[in-house]
Amino acid sequence: MLILQNGRPKDVSGRLEKEIRTYDFLDELNIPYQRIDHEAAMTMEVCADIDEALHATICKNLFLSNRQETDFYLLMIPGYKKFKTKILSARLGTARLSFAKETYMDEFLDITPGSVSVMGLMNDANNRVQLVIDEDVLKSEYVGCHPCINTSSLRLRTHDLMDVVIPALKHTPIIVNLEEDAL
């Protein structure tokens, strides 16, 4: 059974340093958040139960790059939406995007596949990654994300994410409409 808990775990033994850094970051900002611990969530299907327990918009977080591997993007899109590279590439005015290599994910965000999260941007000190958010993410009161590891999920108020967390990450998001008919 998934249990929604307030804030960081009381006992952080056995947790990765990058997860603890996420809690430290949110606590320093005085951002209230809830947390659910769970088995590794590698797919959106596995996230369905977590989504129900969090009562938040669970995002697909995709780490992308252009063909030349010179521009990198972290896309937050609602889990129910299909990602179409053609549409996002057109919105960003860039060559067709594809999934970036794991080595860049680790180097820039200190995260691994299945754990991609907006919180990884706290590790992007050189601002190599551009945050891109589908506008439908912003329609929910809460947004869900991983604390840089996919064995826990967080619930944050969307306005806290946009007004406090993202500015503290020092990344200005690009808000896009990824509906096909909006082309």
The per-residue pLDDT of the chain, averaged, comes to 91
Cβ(35)–Cβ(8) below 8 Å: yes
pLDDT at 45: 66
The pLDDT value recorded for residue 11 is 93
**Cβ atoms 65, 104 nearer than 8 A:** yes
Q: Structural domains in the chain?
A: 16-177 (3.90.960.10)
pLDDT tens, 60-107?
899 999 999 999 999 999 988 888 899 999 999 998 899 999 999 999
Residue 92 in tokens: 């960003």
- pLDDT bracket for residue 43 (50, 70, 90): low
